[in-house]
């Protein structure tokens, strides 16, 4: 894999996005992004359009597009063939026949020329625009609630974020002793949101016990959204973003790569090892 594709793939994994989700946000086909990440430039459209796709993808992943565009291969240089050697002077009688030959050739052209075809001008596809970004401000009563956007931890209320990519986003607030709040936002302009959190019921039902895990198994329970890649030796056995509440079991030894480790709880041979890592900090961990 080339340096360009490695940068794109690593940035996508750190954001916890699959190829399909990234393609849906850019309104592109997943095979276009896959060709960029795997440096299969021959499968992409013309260079001007492909470079536009690369720019949009870099902006989606929070990367500066200019260094990546510099890594995109340019087309082959035009080749020039040497001029043919000058011919030797022809005989005088050929010069006398030249006007006659030109006249005959022009007459044959006028008789045999085809009808001119209609030329249709096809407008070129406009270059894609960079996605709109807007800031977000979240305040809660009481303050100190943990704020998640599309499953990624942003901080605690009161919170003001830098400009974020616009579109439909899922906002979630969590505070111990209070009911969790979750709603879908349309981030199409700067938003300032205020929420009043409701106390949790006095006697909340106990969470269901974890399913007994047989010896030699690793179980991952998704308590939030996170991209995962699981490998056993050289074989990739799973890659994707499971639904919240999903439990995945794998034979040991196994290597786990997570985009949001703070959303993944680990059970090793029935023992709860806690969360895989800190929220929003991708890591790779091996379980022998």
CA dist., res. 3 & res. 17, Å (int): 20
Secondary structure of residue 251 in the 3-state scheme: strand
- Let me know: does 22 contact 57? Beta carbons within 8 Å: yes
- Let me know: does 210 contact 220? Beta carbons within 8 Å: no
CA dist., res. 22 & res. 19, Å (int): 5
Cα dist from 80 to 73, 86, 268, whole Å: 21, 18, 66
pLDDT at 53: 86
Closest CA to 159 of 173, 172, 141, 147: 147
Closest CA to 148 of 171, 168, 169: 171
Helix (H) and strand (E) counts for the chain? 6, 17
pLDDT single digits (tens) 235-283? 998 998 999 999 999 888 889 999 999 899 999 888 898 999 898 899 8
Token pair 């989606």 in the structure block, residue: 60
CA dist., res. 175 & res. 19, Å (int): 32
Do the bridges between strand 136-141 and strand 191-196 make them parallel or antiparallel, or are there none, so unpaired?
A: parallel
* Beta bridge pairs of residue 232: 235
pLDDT at 204: 47
pLDDT at 247: 92
Q: Which residues of the chain have pLDDT under 70?
A: 1, 75-91, 114-130, 203-216
pLDDT at 106: 79
CA dist., res. 249 & res. 158, Å (int): 38
pLDDT at 93: 72
Closest CA to 132 of 191, 180, 207, 86: 191
Say if residue 115 is exposed, middle or buried (CB neighbours under 10 Å; 0-12, 13-18, 19+): exposed
For 92-155, the DSSP string reads HHHHHHHHHHHHHHHHHHHHHPPPPPPP--PPPPPPPPPPPEE-EEEEEESS--EEEETTEEEE
């Amino acid at each position: 894999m080339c340096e360009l594709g490695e940068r794109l793939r690593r940035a996508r994994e750190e954001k916890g996005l699959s190829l399909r989700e990234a393609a849906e946000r850019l309104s592109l086909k997943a095979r276009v992004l896959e060709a960029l990440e795997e440096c299969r430039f021959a499968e992409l459209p013309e260079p001007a359009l492909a470079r536009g796709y690369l720019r949009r993808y870099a902006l989606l992943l929070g990367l500066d597009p200019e260094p990546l565009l510099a890594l995109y291969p340019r087309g082959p240089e035009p080749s020039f063939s040497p001029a043919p050697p000058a011919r030797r002077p022809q005989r005088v009688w050929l010069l006398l026949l030249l006007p006659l030959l030109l006249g005959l050739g022009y007459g044959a052209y006028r008789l045999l020329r085809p009808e001119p075809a209609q030329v249709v001008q096809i407008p070129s596809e406009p270059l894609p625009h960079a996605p709109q970004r807007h800031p977000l401000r979240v305040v809660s009563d009481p303050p100190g609630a943990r704020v998640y956007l599309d499953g990624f931890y942003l901080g605690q209320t009161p919170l003001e974020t830098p400009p974020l990519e616009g579109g439909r986003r899922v906002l979630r607030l969590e505070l111990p002793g209070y009911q969790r709040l979750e709603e879908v936002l349309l981030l199409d302009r700067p938003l300032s949101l205020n929420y009043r959190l409701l106390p949790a019921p006095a006697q909340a039902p106990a969470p269901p016990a974890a399913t007994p895990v047989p010896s030699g198994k690793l179980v991952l329970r998704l308590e939030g959204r996170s991209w995962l890649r699981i490998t056993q030796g050289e074989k990739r056995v799973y890659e994707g973003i499971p639904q919240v509440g999903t439990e995945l079991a794998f034979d040991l030894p196994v290597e786990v790569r997570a985009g949001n480790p703070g959303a993944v709880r680990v059970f090793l041979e029935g023992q709860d090892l806690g969360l895989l890592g800190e929220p929003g900090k991708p890591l790779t961990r091996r379980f022998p």
